[in-house]
Amino acid sequence: MQTIFQLFPSSVKAAKNEKNIGIPCCEISDEPSFSWRGLNLDCCRHFMSKDFVKRYIDILAYYKFNVLHWHLTDDQAWRIEIKKYPKLTQVGAWRVESDGSVYSGFYSQEDVKEIVSYARIRFITIVPEIEMPGHSLASLSAYPENSCSGGPFKPANSFGVFKDIYCAGRDSTYIFIHNVLDEITQLFPGKFIHIGGDEAPKNLWKECPICQAKMKTEGLKDENELQSYFIKNISAYLTDKGKSVIGWDEILQGGLAPGTIVQSWQGFQGAVDAANLGHYTICSPESFTYFNTSPENLDLRKVYSFNPVPDTLPENKKNYVLGGEVNLWTEYIKQENVDENLFPRMLALAEVFWSNPQNKNFDEFYSRVKKSYADLRSMGIKYGREAKSFTYNITIDKIKKESVVNVVKLQDNIEIRYTVDGTIPDSNSHLYLDTLKISKPLVLKIAAFNAYYITGVALTLKFVNNMASGSKITISNQYAERYNGGGKEALIDGIKGTTNFHDGLWQGYEGVDFEGTIDLGELKEIHSVAPTFLFNQDSWIFLPEKVEISLSEDNIAFNNIRTINNDIPQKSTEVLIKEFAALYNKEKARYIKVKALSIKECPDWHSGSGGKAWLFIDEILVK
């Protein structure tokens, strides 16, 4: 039936009042490749109205999705009414923003029943996600007795991973969650309940005498097994109620309860591990399905290339992959911005989840996408971009001592405008016609315009004088590919990164030190060397413990060693950029070696305790 609806002309869908509709004569013979075709809609970080949720149920049905994964609880809010525990919404559904304003919203049980009924008629299964044991700060704000420390707490007004989670040692915690799930299972008649299980810091469990006593009583060797005990308890309770439990791939730690479904988000490995253990899995890796990622970093073509069945999965295990999901996390996305983040990229996953991978052809698919825009407009979907509006490359002219910026359009019907004073371009700014030549420090901002409006994200490039620009650099440890900063030469290209580590200018090293050697090409007098590092501990990015800088004439004997120790507390919540500068008195050198000692693991006090710490480096300024 949805195929027939899709054959209706766009004018009919928009007007909805034509009596005689002509559609092509055809025979429909069709079936999906995957039984699980979902959208994970996060209504915690930013609330979405009941009518908006119903609107998306209609959209899902039209594009042959069959699951709405409804994210209802998190650190920032508890969004669903629980009669037995009224404070979950009286307290947990409200947060005070940093500017003092109050942000709130929740669904009454009558709202939920209406939405579930609306979905059922359209053959959409709603899967509620009730987060545990982590991402539970809003719940603990209402009932702090379920924590290890006793609180007090308040719903978070920032985003990240928080150390306060449910106490896994208290029997009363399990009674509380069981009571909540009693009402959840009555509201959602579908077979599946998602219990999260992701990003649960265990540092407070290590300090909690009640958790430690529980581990001793149950013979659990570590906190990972305590989490497994927690998840298995909840799984058994829900299984007795005839429900199947879904959890994010962290629930693999310490062992799985029978029948548990694993949703793999950190990559494909969680899906592979689950399938090899004989568990069904939903494959939705961040790198392909997280549509809160901008089209700059996850474009239509890459989304279309996704295959939910991992290449490394044995043939006899592939049937354990149920399918996949579009994921929309809304930390920085409000209801009015949902459409532009989901579409047109959602069309790609609609096809990935339905079609045989052997029949996929991007060019043929894209020809239909362009025709689909009229459909999207007729349904009132305010779609966004397919990809980056433009890209750029920079070459260094060492003789003229200038950077040459070349901008390449990636979309039709746009124009490129720029400013050189740090202001955001508008429709009256300089029109880009040819390469730009930069020979002095300045802030270049470049933006794409569709008619009179910016489309996409404005690019900011802060040019500085760097004697090493255009030189060669070798590095020892390899950077993470998703934080490549534009390649190793980007560390000496005369452009400084911003405090946004997603700006494409930072180079990230996970759990390892940085070591790089710059070859200036000839002997030069050195006045200073200042490598630049980013600090954002909420995102697990820490400053180096110390930086060692040394000089050499022959790349063999290095001397003039300077050691710069970090003087900023790693516990600071500030996001900042810090230069570790070494000063010299006109020493001559051709080679400059920079070593930065990473802390390698997140400290015990950190929410990511024991996880790999990031070291982010950008420009190595040489004067």
Catalytic residues: 74, 135, 199
Structure tokens at 514: 């940085």
24 SS3 class = coil
**Considering Cα of 28, then 33, then 36, then 40, what sign does the dihedral take?**
negative
Tokens 């629980």 sit on residue: 82
**Burial profile 237-252: b = 16 or more Cβ within 10 angstroms, e = fewer:** bbbeeebbbbbbbbbb
> What φ, ψ does residue 343 adopt, rounded to 5°?
-110, 145
SS (H, E, C) 378-423: HCCCCCCCCCCCEEEEEEEECCCCEEEEEEEECCCCCEEEEECECC
Residue 480 exposed, middle or buried by CB count within 10 Å (0-12, 13-18, 19+): middle
Tabulate helix, strand, coil % of the chain (nearest 5).
Answer: 30, 30, 40
Rounded to 10 degrees, the C-alpha dihedral 233/235/239/241 comes to 70
Beta strands at 125-132 and 102-104: parallel, antiparallel or unpaired: unpaired
CA dist 388 → 269, 363, 456, 480 (Å): 29, 18, 7, 21
DSSP classification of residue 32 = -
The DSSP H or E segment spanning 50 is: helix 50-62
Contact (CB, 8 A) for 43 and 80: no
Residue 98: count other Cβ atoms within 10 Å of its Cβ. Answer: 7
DSSP classification of residue 147 = B
Structure tokens at 93: 């559904």
DSSP classification of residue 595 = E
Q: Identify residue 5 by its one-letter amino acid code.
A: F
Q: How many residues does the chain have?
A: 623
> Could you tell me which of 163, 230, 148 has the C-alpha nearest to residue 202?
163
- Residue 16 CA to residue 14 CA, distance in Å, equals 6
Structure tokens at 231: 């998840």
Beta strands at 436-438 and 582-597: parallel, antiparallel or unpaired: unpaired
